[in-house]
Amino acid sequence: MGNEYKIYTKGGDKGKTSLLGGTRVPKYDDRINAYGTLDELNSFIGLIRDFDISAHYRKVLIDIQSFIFTAESHLASDNPENIKKLPPLKEENVFQLEKEIDAMNEELPELKFFILPGGHPLVSYCHITRTICRRAERLVIKLAESHEFDAVIIRYLNRLSDYLFVLSRKLTKDFGVEEIPWKSHK
């Protein structure tokens, strides 16, 4: 058992962590906030995947999780040379989300009002995940002001939040629950 992998390194005990490449940064660094939020997003997508959904949705969600991990690794890199060694980010991933959104939308009634999240636990998790995705998008956009990385990440996150919204609507329909319109109180 000599070369056993240990999950703890004690390297972060003083509030710093290492980027890919070895640079030590504070755990509140913008890069850590951005890819940490992507990690949170990825975990919630895994939660959605754990529900009783179609094999197709499950496959799409696994593909999304893989892309998010790839994006995290790009954001965590401290050197452009390291990025060349990472799996590439592809525009086709954005197009795939658009294709999925369009296919689901064909089966849904036109949206004529804002809807209140809820109606089924899975639908609610889709909405929670969508809001985490929006937060991740905001953090990545902020990060882009000071760090260079492939802008496909921002486009992907923007489209992913749309995908999660439409998925919530599609699951609402699939589960036969009501979409409740938002009504302002006067």
Range of the domain at 71: 20-174
Helix (H) or strand (E) run with residue 130 in it: helix 121-144
Residue 180 lies in a domain: no
Considering only 52-56, 59-63, 102-106, 111-115, which range has the smallest mean pLDDT?
111-115
pLDDT at 5: 67
* CB-CB neighbours of 155 under 10 Å: 16
Task: Pick the closest to residue 129 from 58, 54, 42 (CA basis).
Answer: 42
| DSSP, residue by residue, 95-125 | HHHHHHHHHHHTTS----S-B-S-SSHHHHH
Residue 84 lies in a domain: yes
Q: What tens digit of pLDDT does each residue of 4-63 get?
A: 766 666 666 667 766 566 667 666 778 888 989 999 999 999 999 999 999 999 999 999
- Please tell me the pTM assigned to this model: 0.89
Q: Which residue has the tokens 């294709």?
A: 99
**Number of domains within the chain:** 1
Residue 62 lies in a domain: yes
Distance CA 30, CA 17 (A): 12
CATH number for the domain harbouring residue 167? 1.20.1200.10
Start-to-end C-alpha separation, the chain = 69
Phi, psi for residue 182 in degrees, rounded to 5: -75, 135
* 109 against 2, higher pLDDT: 109
Residue 100 lies in a domain: yes
Residue 182 lies in a domain: no
Residue 10 lies in a domain: no
